[in-house]
Chain A
């Protein structure tokens, strides 16, 4: 199925969880924030949150800035 991740279209396996998605991108979970369709998903729910086709996923981090 197709989902949008950080503004770009990606094809991922059906019924992927957020945790699986992060692992597939080699990301460490400790410093990132994830929003699905503009709702922040808490870390403890990543394993149980399944993505749906056309979901809009933002993977965000806090960075330095003025």
Chain B
């Protein structure tokens, strides 16, 4: 079945994107990538701390995955644009997850600053995947500004609370003509499957994998769940009903009298 996801001219087989944050050990990252079959991972850019000797995380990423930097740390569009330009010049390719956050309690993104960042970065040839708070008007403006996909949150980052914004995401899936990638909040493979059954193009999962007791095993489960959810969506599930409808014939019963 040819059901590839096309973003920025790249055809992807996997509809699961994986974040590389929060792993207890960098050695888990390549195993998670292999088990989940993901083809896109996110990374961040940070200033070097002169007092800490840190491993180079990039060495743990296989050569054939797409590395998508995020603009985490950006508090406004100017900071997001600066990070994106540095990331590209540093050799990260031209995919960028625009993430502009001023709220330290819920880490909810600033849709307004995100739109401004997209307007600038789209003119510079970036493939932009904005992390956003699900809102139809904001999504329309992001699409018009040149985003390659829209990434609405299911629940706040790191909460593993599932798809709390379900109805708003369903509206985006219906009305926006771009891949809708549910990013943040997915806590279990069943929730990833739920997103895919709704018609999401993909999901991005980080905390739920990195903080599981067995990240590699749950990564495999997430990969399978995303495939299952996508097949279910394409298969056109049966309608729900209020009253029962028997599954076995209603005649020829083996009854006395």
Q: Which residue numbers of A lie inside 8 Å of B, CB to CB?
A: 6-7, 25-27, 30-33, 35, 38, 40, 58-66
Contact = CB atoms under 8 A, between A and B. Distances in A.
A6 B20 contact: no
Interface of B: 19-23, 26, 29, 42-48, 50, 54, 56-59, 67, 69-70, 72, 82, 85-86, 89-90, 92, 157, 184, 204, 206-207
Contacts of B92: 62
B22 A31 contact: no
B86 A60 contact: yes
Contact of A64 (B26, B48, B50, B82): B26
User: Ordered nearest first, which 3 A-B pairs have the shortest CB separation?
Assistant: A65-B44, A66-B19, A66-B206
A64 B44 contact: yes
A31 B56 contact: yes
Contacts of B22: 64, 66
A64 B72 CA distance: 11
Contacts of A38: 82, 85-86
Given A27-B48, A60-B47, A60-B90, A65 B56 contact: no
A8 to B, nearest CB: 10
Nearest to A59: B48
A32 B58 contact: no
A35 to B, nearest CB: 6
B75 to A, nearest CB: 14
B21 A58 contact: no
